[in-house]
């Protein structure tokens, strides 16, 4: 897809300041894509990764690769960069061979030079690259340097690491330009509240003190010469507001609404929703039946969302940590009725985002403030409370599973129905002002837009049906997805989308079915697996577990596996844990085995797998958005607890390299299996089946009481 839109070598590979530069539309938010892309170019050019730069991602200059999401960056940008570099390499070798009048095979590319063996003639690679025909198209069949030539990838420190540990790495939050004002929005108590009025005396006093107050309907912000001044002013202004809170947020049981609300049931076949397919009959007296639920959860970036904007009367420049600068630009232009070429977006790293958080909303809010004060750059930041209360959450989900077993205890039929709200809250342009409607401030401005009404995601392995399809060859499956709308909270894409709840459900049922059949969880899964790479990750995990001691008395071990989107990286993982006297789950050890095709950056892969495990564990054990009629009540790290260092087990990663297979992203491969393996390990330790996230002490106690009652 990336190459179709940007077919030329110069779209991806350039030279600047005597160095090779990679151009990409994918942005780095800690997942190390820039490290991987530099390494890919370095492999094809026989350079050290340190000798390759990665260009800033800016509208107008960077290739438009849509969103940085879905673990697609190595596949899309990585493939484009590799083929572009390989095409460029072949082109410069051919040209120099002609120039030197020697066979191409007599030229050697090493250490940044192309040298003719047997003579002293040589040319710098960057010089040769600079002379490439600008119209040269990427050759999809270009010869890639095989593993034997490039060698086994070794770990280098990721880009920016030293600056990070020395406090010199520049985040968007750190930008500081001459004449800049700091801005803070003053958000309503909840998204449906409307501003009735503000105490004029307070505004007067603020303005007399050099604070600017910006109001557009119920969108409200302050700008002041310092960050602390802006924080204080926002507090004063908030206390001077009179809000009409209307009926407030619906206090409903979301899991029940997900289960019961009458919405279209879309059959899912081969990973695709097929509205016209006949639904197979509902399960009749299943041998196994259970419902698995996930609450609303938040991305919870450590650094609240921020953006810098400036408006000179004709051009709007926005520095943002959005995952999609081109789609965001379109939606901002549509919102402000500006032509595309009047707005430039520049990506600057923010804090890790894990999906669509407040980044885009903050960028638009910064733009609104900047447009109100031409010529003054504005750095707008959300507070912790803004981020917790106003980011678009991961939807709650409900997955109902039923299975019929045969005489051997094998799954004869598997039924799963996944229900959730939309994962598509990103501000992509579309009919009915779909882009602007998904920017928070447009819900608040004068003449506000109504909430975005999502359509079901019909893509293969999209949204709520991601990993709904089992990776196991069951004789019969009946899979259904349901998009449930009109629920209380705004939702969007978070790491893994529906795969977390779906893998949690499937792998829990596999564990239960294996136990019922008296089979071990490895052997039971093998009954349904034929793909050698699936089997390989499972085998490696089992082999590694044989080498380490069994869990201690009272502790338990669980496993789970998944192939992300049923077509990407494969992960099998194990968790050892114990449940203490206070019903807290204490993680003791984890092993992650992964196959993500050809390895480019082994340390980057391991970091993503480990990070995904830890975040999955945090979702499994701690996280749930809460609210009442008046407001979101999980507004800080006390009311929205997440995993901390006191529950981090040693984590081992084992990477299975496939040098002849395409490289795949791994950012979303481990969280789903992490949740499921924890649930299965809790069963091994206690005999309890936990099916409702998060597995808090209260949930453990409730499961114990339920087990006693049964």
Partner 1 sequence: MTLALRINGADREIASDPETPLIHVLRDELKLKGAKLGCGLEQCGACAVLVDGEVTLSCATPAAVFAGREITTIEALGDTPEGARVQEAFVAASAAQCGYCTPGLVVAVTALLQRDPAPSREAAMAALTPHLCRCGSHPRVLRAVEIAAGQGQGQQ
Of residues 227 and 584, the one with the C-beta less far from partner 1: 227
SS3 64: coil
Q: Establish if 549 lies at the interface with partner 1 (CB under 8 A).
A: no
Q: Establish if 638 lies at the interface with partner 1 (CB under 8 A).
A: yes
Beta bridge partners of 355: 494
Q: Name which of residues 80 to 139 contact partner 1 (CB under 8 A).
A: none
- The nearest distance, CB 168 to partner 1, in angstroms, is 7
- Strands 113-116 and 122-124 turn out to be antiparallel
Q: Establish if 145 lies at the interface with partner 1 (CB under 8 A).
A: no
Q: Name which of residues 303 to 322 contact partner 1 (CB under 8 A).
A: 303-304
- Strands 651-656 and 212-216 turn out to be unpaired
Helices (H) and strands (E) in the chain, counts: 20, 25
Among 331, 469, 615, 686, binds partner 1 (CB under 8 A): 615
Of residues 336 and 648, the one with the C-beta less far from partner 1: 648
Q: Establish if 169 lies at the interface with partner 1 (CB under 8 A).
A: yes
Which x/- pattern over 368-407 shows residues binding partner 1 (rule: CB under 8 A)? -------------x-xx-----------------------
Following DSSP, what letter does each residue of 480-517 receive, concatenated? EEEE--S-SS-B--BTTTTHHHHHHHHHHHHHHHHHHH
Q: Establish if 358 lies at the interface with partner 1 (CB under 8 A).
A: no
Q: Establish if 174 lies at the interface with partner 1 (CB under 8 A).
A: yes
Q: Candidates 17-25, 39-47, 418-426, 638-646 — which segment interacts with partner 1 by CB under 8 A?
A: 638-646
CA distance 354 to 387: 14
Of residues 189 and 352, the one with the C-beta less far from partner 1: 352
The token duo for 145 is 């340097």
Q: Name which of residues 225 to 284 contact partner 1 (CB under 8 A).
A: 226-228, 231
Q: Establish if 154 lies at the interface with partner 1 (CB under 8 A).
A: no
CA distance 127 to 539: 49
Among 350, 436, 556, 673, binds partner 1 (CB under 8 A): 350
Of residues 177 and 473, the one with the C-beta less far from partner 1: 177
Positive or negative, the CA dihedral 162, 167, 173, 179 is negative
Q: Establish if 523 lies at the interface with partner 1 (CB under 8 A).
A: no
Of residues 229 and 441, the one with the C-beta less far from partner 1: 229
Number of residues lying near partner 1 (CB under 8 A):
62
CA distance 103 to 97: 6
Neighbours of 362 (CB within 10 A): 33
Q: Establish if 66 lies at the interface with partner 1 (CB under 8 A).
A: no
Among 48, 104, 155, 626, binds partner 1 (CB under 8 A): 155
Among candidate residues 589, 591, 561, the one with its CA nearest the CA of residue 577: 589
| Strand ranges across the sheet with 585-595 | 556-563, 570-579, 585-595, 651-656
The token duo for 482 is 């349901």
Among candidate residues 289, 700, 283, the one with its CA nearest the CA of residue 512: 289
Q: Establish if 584 lies at the interface with partner 1 (CB under 8 A).
A: no
Q: Establish if 301 lies at the interface with partner 1 (CB under 8 A).
A: yes
Q: Name which of residues 404 to 463 contact partner 1 (CB under 8 A).
A: none
CA distance 457 to 159: 35
Among candidate residues 526, 599, 591, 538, the one with its CA nearest the CA of residue 563: 538
Q: Which residues bind partner 1 (CB under 8 A)?
A: 29-32, 155, 157-158, 160-162, 164-171, 173-174, 176, 226-228, 231, 299-304, 349-352, 354, 381, 383-384, 603, 607-608, 610-615, 618, 636-638, 642-646, 648-652
């Amino acid at each position: 897809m990336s190459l179709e839109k940007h077919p030329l070598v110069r779209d991806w590979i350039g030279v600047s300041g005597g160095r090779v530069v990679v151009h990409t539309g994918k942005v780095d938010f800690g997942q190390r894509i820039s490290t991987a892309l530099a390494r890919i170019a370095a492999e094809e050019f026989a350079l050290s990764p340190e000798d390759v730069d990665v260009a800033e991602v800016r509208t107008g200059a960077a290739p438009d690769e849509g969103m940085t999401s879905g673990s697609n960056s190595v596949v899309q940008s990585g493939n484009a960069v590799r083929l572009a570099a390989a095409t460029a390499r072949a082109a410069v070798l051919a040209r120099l061979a002609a120039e030197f009048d020697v066979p191409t095979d007599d030229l050697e590319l090493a250490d940044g030079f192309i040298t003719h063996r047997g003579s002293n003639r040589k040319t710098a690679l960057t010089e040769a690259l600079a002379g490439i025909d600008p119209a040269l198209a990427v050759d999809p069949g270009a010869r890639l340097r095989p593993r034997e030539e490039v060698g086994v990838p070794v770990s280098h420190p990721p880009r920016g690491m030293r600056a990070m540990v020395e406090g010199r790495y520049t985040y968007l939050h750190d930008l500081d330009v001459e004449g800049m004002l700091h801005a803070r929005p003053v958000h309503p108590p909840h998204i449906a509240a409307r501003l009735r009025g503000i105490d004029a005396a307070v505004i007067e006093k603020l303005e007399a003190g050099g604070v600017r107050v910006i109001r557009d309907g119920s969108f409200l912000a302050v700008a002041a010469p310092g960050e602390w001044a802006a924080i204080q002013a926002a507090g004063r202004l908030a206390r001077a507001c009179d809000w009409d809170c209307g009926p407030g947020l619906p206090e409903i049981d979301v899991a029940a609404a997900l289960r019961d609300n009458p919405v279209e049931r879309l059959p899912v076949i081969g990973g695709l929703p097929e509205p016209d397919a006949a639904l197979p009959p509902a399960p009749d007296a299943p041998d196994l039946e259970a419902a698995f639920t996930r609450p609303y959860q938040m991305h919870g970036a450590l650094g609240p969302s921020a953006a810098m904007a400036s408006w000179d009367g004709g051009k709007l420049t926005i520095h943002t940590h959005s995952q999609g600068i081109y789609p965001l630009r379109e939606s901002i232009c549509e919102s402000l009725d500006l032509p595309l070429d009047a707005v430039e977006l520049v990506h600057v790293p923010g804090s890790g985002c894990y999906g669509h958080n407040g980044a885009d909303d903050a960028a638009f809010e910064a733009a609104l403030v900047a447009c109100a004060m031409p010529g003054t750059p504005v750095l707008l930041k959300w507070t912790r409370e803004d981020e917790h209360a106003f980011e678009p959450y991961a939807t709650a989900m409900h997955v109902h599973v039923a299975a019929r077993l045969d005489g051997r205890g094998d799954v004869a039929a598997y039924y799963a129905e996944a229900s959730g709200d939309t994962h598509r809250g990103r501000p992509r342009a579309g009919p009915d002002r779909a882009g602007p409607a998904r920017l928070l401030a447009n819900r608040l401005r004068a003449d506000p837009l109504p909430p975005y009404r999502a359509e079901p995601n019909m893509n293969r392995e999209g949204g709520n049906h991601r990993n709904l399809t089992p990776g196991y060859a069951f004789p019969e499956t009946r899979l259904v997805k349901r998009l449930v709308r009109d629920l209380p909270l705004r939702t969007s894409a978070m790491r893994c989308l529906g795969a977390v709840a779906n893998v949690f459900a499937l792998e829990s049922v596999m564990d239960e079915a294996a136990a019922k059949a008296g089979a071990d969880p490895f052997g039971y899964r093998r009954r349904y697996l034929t793909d050698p790479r699936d089997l390989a990750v499972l085998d490696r995990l089992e082999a590694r577990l044989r080498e380490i001691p069994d869990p201690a008395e009272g502790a338990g071990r669980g496993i789970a596996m998944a192939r992300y989107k049923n077509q990407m990286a494969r992960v099998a993982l194990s968790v050892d844990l114990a449940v203490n006297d206070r019903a807290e789950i204490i993680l003791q050890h984890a092993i992650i085995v992964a196959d993500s095709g050809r390895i480019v950056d082994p340390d980057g892969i391991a970091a993503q797998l480990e990070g995904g495990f830890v975040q999955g564990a945090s979702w499994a054990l701690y996280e749930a958005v809460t609210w009442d009629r008046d407001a979101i009540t999980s507004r800080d790290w006390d009311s929205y607890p997440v995993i901390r260092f006191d529950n981090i087990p040693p984590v081992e990663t084992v990477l299975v390299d496939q040098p002849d297979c395409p490289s795949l992203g791994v950012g979303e491969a481990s969280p789903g299996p992490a949740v499921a393996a924890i649930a299965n390990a809790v069963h091994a330790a206690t005999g309890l089946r936990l099916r409702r996230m998060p597995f808090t002490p209260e949930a453990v106690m409730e499961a114990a009481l339920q087990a006693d009652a049964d």
